[in-house]
Amino acid sequence: MSYFNKQIIILLTFIISLFLFPACSPDPDNIMNKDKFITVLSEVMIIEKLSVSEETKIALLKNVFEKHNTDAEEFLRTKEYYKQDPDYWINIYDKAVQRIKKDSDQSKKKKTDTKPK
């Protein structure tokens, strides 16, 4: 095999690998945007901490996914995509925790505002 043929084979192998390897990872067009994911993640985190049966948790998760027009597969795909960058994942996780705290504070405030005086 000539030097030129070897170079062509190496080049073709490289080009083919460019097309094959991205197919193994989630496509950014096929995941939730960051804000939607944070919203869904925060609700999922709350459900995971509830002291209820697994059947109830599954039903609650289905409701969350339906409410946000998504499904468990897209949620997990998005989670895996964002976790590829640990710093970015920490930022998303922190924002989800902040959202939970904010929603909790608002809920407590509503309860105190609606109490009879």
Task: Give pLDDT, residue 33.
Answer: 93
Question: How confident is the model over 70-114, as pLDDT tens digits?
Answer: 999 999 999 999 999 999 999 999 999 999 999 888 877 777 766
The residues near 61 (Cβ < 8 Å, ≥ 6 apart) are 44, 47, 72
What's the gap between Cα 5 and its chain centre?
A: 45
In this predicted model, what pLDDT tens digit does every residue of 34-74 receive, in sequence order?
999 999 999 999 999 999 999 999 999 999 999 999 999 99
Three-state secondary-structure class, residue 14: helix
> 5: pLDDT confidence band, cut at 50, 70 and 90?
low
Q: Is 17 a residue whose pLDDT tops 70?
A: no
pLDDT(31) > 90: yes
pLDDT of residue 109: 76
From residue 43, alpha-carbon distances to 5, 14, 64, 85 in Å are: 57, 43, 7, 22
CA 19, 20, 22, 26 torsion-angle sign: positive
Burial grade of 70 (CB within 10 A; 0-12, 13-18, 19 or more): middle
Report yes or no on whether pTM surpasses 0.75.
Answer: no
Say how far apart CA 72 and CA 62 lie, in whole Å: 8
